[in-house]
Amino acid sequence: MAQLPPSPDFETMEANAPRTAEQRTAILSLIGSLVFSWSNNESLFIYVLNILLDSDEISAAIVFTTLNTTRARLDLIDRLAKVKIHDEEVAAELQKLVKRFNKASRMRNEFNHCLYMLGPEGDITHTQTLKLMEVRGQLKWGDIKPVDEHRLRQMKKSIEDLRALNRDIWAFLPRLHKACHSRLQPVPSAPQNSPSGESR
């Protein structure tokens, strides 16, 4: 027979929740900053496609959004780079930028695709990943990790890394443009409403 977990004691949790509101707000703020910075960095790859495809911005955006996974978008960029970029240093720099983005993606995915576990006080205590893992030949669902100070420091580091990556991608675009000998107009500086990694 199917075994269900015990239902939470919602009344007790709601009664105690005001005492842990600050903890939840701090964690949710970090999650929001992580998703915000990650999404804006992913969007910058539209401009990378714009250059590699030697197209206009809307055409690059159509290609970008038609591919419905981040992995597919980065795979396309990798393949185009191999035939479009003739400067080895620029090609290597693009690979490093993608690698940095993928590293930050692991942290973003942890908090964007998980089940959040609450303690009796209503505080966020653990996350459980929404994926299957094989352990000694047995399938196990959901790796459980504590949301402790160490984990919060990791989140803050990922957010800082994404903000630095945002600036580095913007600085890289003109070099990529030049390396591809594109017919496009020079890539402008980041406009005020551009996908920046900075919080407003």
User: Cα separations (Å) of 23 from 26, 122, 173?
Assistant: 5, 10, 39
Q: What is the pLDDT of residues 111-138, one digit of tens each?
A: 999 999 998 888 999 999 888 777 788 8
The predicted structure's pLDDT at residue 197: 63
pLDDT at 182: 45
Could you list the pLDDT tens digit for every one of the 200 residues in the chain? 678 878 888 888 888 888 999 999 999 999 999 999 999 999 999 999 999 999 999 999 999 999 999 999 999 999 999 999 989 999 999 999 999 999 999 999 999 999 999 988 889 999 998 887 777 888 877 789 999 999 999 999 999 999 999 999 999 999 999 998 644 445 556 666 666 666 54
What is the C-alpha separation between 117 and 123, in angstroms, rounded?
Answer: 8
- The pTM assigned to this predicted structure is 0.82
Give pLDDT, residue 159: 97
What are the sequence ranges of the domains in the chain?
A: 23-112+150-179
169 alpha-carbon distance from chain centroid: 15
HEC readout, the chain: CCCCCCCCCHHHHHHHHHHHHHHHHHHHHHHHHHHHHHHHHHHHHHHHHHHHCCCCHHHHHHHHHHCCCHHHHHHHHHHHHHHHCCCHHHHHHHHHHHHHHHHHHHHHHHHHCEEEEECCCCCEEEEEECCEEEECCEEEECCEEECCHHHHHHHHHHHHHHHHHHHHHHHHHHHHHHHCCCCCCCCCCCCCCCCCCCCC
**Is 47 exposed, middle or buried (CB count within 10 Å of its CB: 0-12, 13-18, 19+)?**
buried
